[in-house]
Structure 1
Amino acid sequence: MSNSNYSFLSKFKKHVNSSVVLIFFTVLALICANIPVVKDWYFSLWQNEVMFSVGNFNFFSHNGHPMSLGAVINDFLMAIFFLSVGLEIKREIRVGELSTKEKALLPIIGACGGMLVPVLVFALVCPSDPAMQRGLAIPMATDIAFSLGVLAVFKTRVPVGLKVFLAALAVADDLGGIIVIALFYSSDINMMFMLLSAACVVLMVVANIAKIRSKAFYVTVGLVLWYMMLNSGIHATISGVIVAFCIPATLKKGTGHYLERIRKNINKFPVIEVDDLHNTVVLTNEEIHTLKSIESAADKMISPLQDLEDSLHFLINFIVIPLFAFANAGIDLSQMSVGSLFSGVGLAVMLGLVLGKFLGVFSFSWLAVRLKVVTLPAGADWKSFASVCVVCGIGFTVSMFIADLSYAGLGASGVALLNQAKLGVLCGSVVSALLGSYLLNRTLPKEK
């Protein structure tokens, strides 16, 4: 019952709608960070400690210390975000745009270029100061919500093949970002918590093999895994991806079994010939039981993976990501000079996104097409494809997240570098969006 076109269209609508909310909270954060009346409140808000305690145990604690609100957003809520990303990646690999070699190859090749070249640009532009160079991975990511939002402006003028390419590339980018976070942003390893984390993973894998389909089970074990990983030294957000990969994507029985059960139960109801819209309807106990059996069969036709992904839609797109943007996009511009954007980390991040992303995605894809390894997306030519490659430079959510990881723990100098990186992400994303929109308008066929 998988349908990759439906999968893509539903994802496209979801991310486009959420991009408007994301823009609003990003602008709101910038306003709050620069208005004297609310500036102090805004920056102190994220330092408040968060407690979720049972007896002497505080769930939101790291190494025995309560977490701040900002840390809860960046470590806990973003783990839920990466759970959603992991579910999306797993679905795309199994039945979507990354499910076959023919579908996956171009986005994966483009994503590889889109991750490697921005890192190279950052390394070349940024001074050789080791502290500054910690931000190498910041321009690697493409923000799927903002980038698909740009394409949505052009409606039917954009070939479906180009939309699918961009969405699949952003998913592959996210996977690359997850690997980078796991490998390079972990601290000192606590072996006890590491072993407990491994036990949680083994438990979920065994449950999957045993065909346990309860979402509550995987979410509960996932919460335990998050706490263990938080205190193990491995970045806690990776727990979301691990849970996603452990959640079953198959049904307990085939779809035919559930469809047949639904048909049999529907046939138990008599044909209604009289309109009873305005009449009181009283069902027999047997009819109520039959309807509940239909409901149960319909629920079981949705895999736990897809069911959880759908359940998380509102939480992720209208609470988690807007909160993350509001907490992290606030930059005190009064503490920065115009020159900070044209030097150091700010310039390296901005050029990594605007120049590095375009060069990486386009050059790797062009070479693969010329070598006849892949073909261009259906309905696209080189001009429109290049325009979409420019849009790939919109890197917001994951770029901001990696920036925060890169310069954490460096004191006052780290705060200054983080602000430069955030400004680079914002400016690079805006330039990529505006330039990409201009080029798309010039290269796409006009509406008839």
Structure 2
Amino acid sequence: MSLERHWANRLATKISKMLGGEAAGGILLIAVAIAAILAANSPLQHAYHDLFHDKLPWTPVYKLDTLHLWINDGLMAIFFFVVGLEIKREILDGELSDARRRRLPVLAAAAGMLAPAVVYLAVAGTAQPMQRGWAIPAATDIAFAVGVLALLGKRVPASLRLFLLTVAIVDDLGAVTIIAIFYTAEIKLAWGVGGLLFLIALIAANRYRLHSYLLFGVLGLGLWFCVLNSGIHATIAGVLAAFCVPLSVSKGGDSMLLRLEHALVPWNSYLIVPVFGFANAGVALGGIGMEGLLDPIPLGVMLGLFLGKQVGILAAIVASDRIGFAPKPEGASWSQLWGMSVLCGIGFTMSLFIGALAFPRYPILVEEAKLGVLVGSLLSSLLGYAILRLSTTPAPGEKAMESPAEPGDPKLP
């Protein structure tokens, strides 16, 4: 059965169209963040906190005994599974599959992670525990950034949108690597070996073309459970499982990876990420206050996202173009590339997630990091939109910008 005819893909497509496409995803995240902040600073603040942090009366997984843990370690594993699918597709059959085309996005993404970390450490310092937050401003929220870009419609050249997507994909790969290396607790050997066995089984299933959704689902769930108990963050299991999903297209035009990605992306954008955002973006300002934004952690996170991202990415593009390493995206002006670089400072989902991992024993520091993420992301979205709005004017009669084919679209090879 072809991708476009499968019921899960048809349902996913209908959901995406019903909710208004890419722009709707960014608008939804803004609404969710506002709702979370209002809930955390209203008479509902205790109900909001208790909803996510009170012990559940029963849980099938003893380590996940609150709704907040189920969201951050359970639902977000699915989020990272979809991220892993996107990364694998891009590396094997997308913009990152060509060495010449991936030079600039990889360089820009690397600079866009290094510069914010340097800015953060310069402001917050290298003493513990503040030093552990260096990676918070290093991540870009794809859905949010692309959503803001989509609001500009045909004003933005297709090459700029594609470049932003590619940089964000590489950025996600970097964020996953950082989580695995720098935010992993002491590994429990027995559970780690169990996870390795499940991973080997997934690789074997791919190798021997056992393309059964049930088999991959059971093995993936086993991998997640072992990783959850091993000390490695459970979301890493989502990425590892995704890398084992076959991409090869059958004679009937079917591909397990493309079908899963196409079916899960709308659920990721319109359910999982908003639920995560609502559960994690609620900053209780009563204990911090907006004046707290000048404290080292929130100020470092905010400046890392707002200044570090744009400086790092734009400097990498300029330097690469000037020395002939890789030319800037065709059809994009320098002012448009600046606006795109600023939009990469929208951290939100990934930054909130890393913030919770950075300070597990210091709830007040997690709240401060949230404040920096929200303000930095807000400033980046407003300035990035303004720059692109002022630097682009649609030509009379110009056709709307055509979006690249979605996963599972028949236009894909």
Q: TM-score, normalised by structure 2?
A: 0.89
Is the counterpart of residue 48 in structure 1 residue 49 in structure 2? no
Output the CA distance in 2 between the equivalents of 1:170 and 1:14.
Answer: 18
Separation in 2 of the partners of 1:406 and 1:317?
Answer: 24
CA distance in 2, matches of 1:202, 1:208: 10
* Contact preservation (8 Å) 2:58, 2:65: no
Which residue is 1:61 aligned to?
62
Which has the higher mean CA deviation after the structures are superposed, 142-151 or 15-24?
Answer: 15-24
Counterpart for residue 140 of structure 1: 138
CA distance in 2, matches of 1:175, 1:191: 25
Contact residue 143 and residue 269 of structure 2 kept, 8 A: no
Amino acid of the structure 2 residue aligned with 1:41 = A
Give the Cα separation in 1 of the matches to 2:277 and 2:118: 27
Q: Mark the CA change 1:50 to 1:202 in structure 2 (over 3 Å): closer, same or farther.
A: farther
Q: Secondary structure at the match of 1:130?
A: coil
Q: Which amino acid aligns with 2:319?
A: L
Is contact 2:22–2:150 with CA below 8 Å preserved after alignment? no
Find the counterpart in structure 2 of residue 393 from structure 1. 345
Could you give the per-residue CA deviations for residues 227-252 of structure 1, whole angstroms, max 9, x where no partner exists?
A: 1001111111000000000010113x
**Paired residue for 1:234?**
232
Q: Deviations over 1:27-56 (max 9, x none)?
A: 1111111111x1110001112334776xxx
Describe the superposition over 1:415-445 as per-residue Cα deviations: whole angstroms up to 9, x where unpaired: 1111111010000001011111111122223
Pick from 398, 403, 428 the counterpart of residue 355 of structure 2: 403
Cross-structure match for 2:370: 422
CA drift of 1:386 comes to 1.2
Change (3 A) 1:14 1:302: farther
Aligned partner of 1:179 in structure 2 is 177
1:375 aligns with 2:375: no
1:154, distance to aligned residue in structure 2 (A): 1.5
Equivalent position of 2:127 in the other structure: 129
> Quick one: which amino acid aligns to residue 47 of structure 1?
H
Code of the aligned partner of 2:32:
F
Q: Does 1:220 align with 2:218?
A: yes
Whether the 8 Å contact between 1:204 and 1:221 is mirrored in structure 2 is yes
Give, in whole Å, the separation in 2 of the partners of 1:322 and 1:383.
31
Q: Equivalent residues in 2 for 1:153-302 (5 A)?
A: 153-251=151-249, 253=250, 255=251, 258=252, 301-302=253-254
Change (3 A) 1:434 1:333: same
CA distance in 1 between partners of 2:266 and 2:303 (Å)? 33
- Matching residue of 1:24: 31
CA distance in 2, matches of 1:155, 1:443: 14
With over 3 angstroms needed to count, the CA separation of the structure-2 counterparts of 1:19 and 1:51, relative to structure 1, is farther
Give the aligned partner of residue 411 of structure 2.
none
- In the other structure, the counterpart of 2:42 is 35
Shift in Å, 1:447: 4.4
Q: Is the 8 A contact 1:215 1:308 kept in 2?
A: no
Contact 2:26–2:148 under 8 Å retained in 1: no
Spell out the pairing of 1:326-337 with structure 2 (5 A cutoff). 326-337=278-289
The separation in 1 between residues aligned to 2:57 and 2:286, in whole angstroms, is: 33
- Residue of structure 2 equivalent to 1:266: none
1 CA distance for matches of 2:384 and 2:268?
26
Compare CA radii of gyration and give the structure with the larger one.
Answer: 1
Query: What amino acid maps onto 1:420 in structure 2?
Result: E
Asked whether the 8 Å contact 1:160–1:378 carries over to 2, the reply is no
**3-state DSSP class of the match of 2:65?**
strand
**Percent same amino acid among aligned pairs?**
39
- Corresponding residue for residue 390 of structure 2: 442
* TM-fit CA distance, 1:337: 2.6
Q: How far is 1:84 from its partner?
A: 0.4
1:263-284 Cα deviation digits (max 9, x unpaired): xxxxxxxxxxxxxxxxxxxxxx
Whichever residue aligns with residue 378 of structure 2, its letter is V
| 2:311 equivalent in structure 1 | 359
| SS at structure 2 position matched to 1:365 | helix
Please say if 1:304 is aligned against 2:256: yes
CA distance in 1, matches of 2:393, 2:266: 34
Q: Which amino acid aligns with 1:445?
A: T
Aligned-partner Cα distance in 2 for 1:365–1:168: 14
Q: TM-score when scaled to structure 1?
A: 0.82
Cα displacement (A) at 1:90: 0.7
Give 1:378 deviation, angstroms.
1.5
Deviation at 1:145, TM superposition (A): 1.1
The match for 2:8 is: none
Gaps of 5+ in 1: 3-9, 259-300
Matched with 1:119 is 117
Q: SS where residue 67 of structure 1 aligns? A: coil
* 1:15–1:88 Cα change, 3 Å: farther
Secondary structure of the residue that 1:231 maps to in structure 2? helix
Corresponding residue to 1:96 among 79, 94, 97:
94
Question: For residues 96 and 153 of structure 2, what CA distance do their matches in structure 1 show?
Answer: 24
Q: Does residue 78 in structure 1 map to residue 76 in structure 2?
A: yes
Partner of 1:344: 296
The structural deviation recorded for 1:127 is 3.3
Task: Measure how far apart 1:220 and its partner are.
Answer: 1.3
Per-residue deviation, residues 303-334 of structure 1 (Å, max 9, x unmatched): 10011112212321121111100100001111
